[in-house]
Amino acid sequence: MIARSILWRNRHASVGGLTPDGTVTNSPQPSFPVAALLAVCGALVLPLAAGAASPSKVEQGSHLYGRYCLACHGLDGSGVGAPGRTIGAGPLRVQGQQRATAPSLRGVGALAADFYLRTGYMPLRRVGAQPRRSRVFFDEDQIQAITAYVASLGRGPAIPAPQPSRGDVGEGLHRFTEHCAGCHQIVAEGGYVTGAVAPPLENATDVQIAEAVRIGPYLMPRFSKQQISDRELDSIVAYVRYAKHPDDPGGWSLGHIGPVPEGLVTWFIAAVATVGFCIVIGTRLRSR
């Protein structure tokens, strides 16, 4: 009888309802495997819950999409192909009719929507024109709502989180020269290419640089993680950060737009100095 009582106490002590000395606990304590399982489940569930947009935010985004985006991008982000359809005036659009064609937004994820809205590329003033950085039309809450709605249309890439502090400016210069300088110039001041203008990057945030690399807006090529890894992207962002405020050991920066204007200014100064020197010599010779 005593042995059975001891066995009963030990069995319930492992569950946590009764300790071996007869003390009753208020709540059962899970054993180590159960606690570990709960911890793993919590670690998996919390990020999913944090990354998922609330239904109310998606619904708000749906209303905003219907008001500002549906005319070009179609119902549920299905897109409008050629020959397009006639649309009238709208927010920031030209006051007149135009033929609208726009790509599908299904599967572009939060990345593309966040980039185009935060740079002011969308809404587009004229269909077919190159998107340019301009005043952001939507406020922060509206941007989050539209981004959440577009992300809900299909599985797609999330908004990147570059960490330039982990990058290397020297490597970033090398990668930027290889992939970007042909259009944006080596100092990221922008330039002209056939059929488009490569914008300067002085106002681009770290996230926007990373987003542009991954989606390739307008004529810019899209770079996958196989072409530019996340570590290399961190270095590119670090270099662009440096290029915005570089060291100027020579003094006059001349807008950091390259050697051509620097050479022109040098020749201009040299020509003026040469003419002035000649005038001084001529004046002295006449005075004799």
pLDDT of residue 12: 43
* pLDDT (tens digit per residue) in 55-65: 899 999 999 99
Compute how many other C-beta atoms are within 10 angstroms of the C-beta atom of residue 112: 23
Same domain for 130 and 59? Answer: yes
Q: Is the whole-model pTM more than 0.85?
A: no
Q: Measure the CA dihedral 73/87/211/196, to 10°.
A: 130
Any domain includes 268? no
Residue 101 φ/ψ region, left for φ over 0, alpha for ψ in the -120 to 50 degree band, beta for the rest: beta
Find all residues with CB under 8 Å of 281, minimum gap 6, and list them: none
For residues 169 and 195, membership in a common domain is answered with yes
| Per-residue confidence (pLDDT) for residue 255, from 0 to 100 | 63
Tell me 93's DSSP state: S
For residue 79, the SS3 value is coil
Q: Look at residue 287 and tell me if it is in a domain.
A: no
What is the DSSP code (8-state) at residue 102? E
Of the listed ranges 83-97, 148-162, 247-261, the one predicted with least confidence: 247-261
Quote the CA–CA distance of 217 and 130 in Å, as a whole number. 9
Query: How far is it, in rounded angstroms, from Cα 87 to Cα 74?
Result: 12
pLDDT tens for each residue of 175-197: 999 999 999 988 898 988 888 99
Q: Examine residue 254 and state whether it is found in any structural domain, yes or no.
A: no
Radius of gyration of the chain (CA): 31
Both 129 and 101 in a single domain? yes
- Shared domain for 147 and 59, answered yes or no, is yes
Same domain, yes or no: 92 and 176: no
For 132, the token pair is 């340019």
CATH of residue 197: 1.10.760.10
In a domain, 271, yes or no: no
* Inside any domain, residue 199: yes
Instruction: Give tens-digit pLDDT for 75-117.
Output: 999 999 888 878 877 777 777 788 888 899 999 999 999 999 9
Residue 44: which domain range? 2-51
Which of 55, 87, 92, 95 has its CA nearest to residue 70?
Answer: 87
257 within domain boundaries: no
Residues 43 and 30 in one domain: yes
Token pair of 96 as six digits: 């007149």
Can you tell me whether residue 101 is helix, strand or coil?
strand
Q: Does some domain include residue 157?
A: no
Nearest CA among 91, 190, 85 for reference residue 135: 91
C-alpha dist (Å) from residue 134 to 73, 116, 121, 123, 189: 20, 11, 7, 10, 17
Q: How many domains does the chain have?
A: 3
For residues 15 and 139, which has the higher predicted lDDT (pLDDT)? 139
Q: What is the mean pLDDT of residues 140-145?
A: 97
Looking at the fold, whether 135 and 224 belong to one and the same domain comes out as: no
Residue 29 lies in a domain: yes
SS3 call for 197: strand
HSE-CB at 239 with a 13 A cutoff on CA atoms is 26
Do 175 and 229 share a structural domain? yes
**Do 136 and 209 belong to one domain?**
no
For residue 27, is pLDDT > 60?
no
Which of the listed residues 102, 127, 152 is the one where a domain comes to its end? Answer: 152
Same domain, 60 and 145: yes
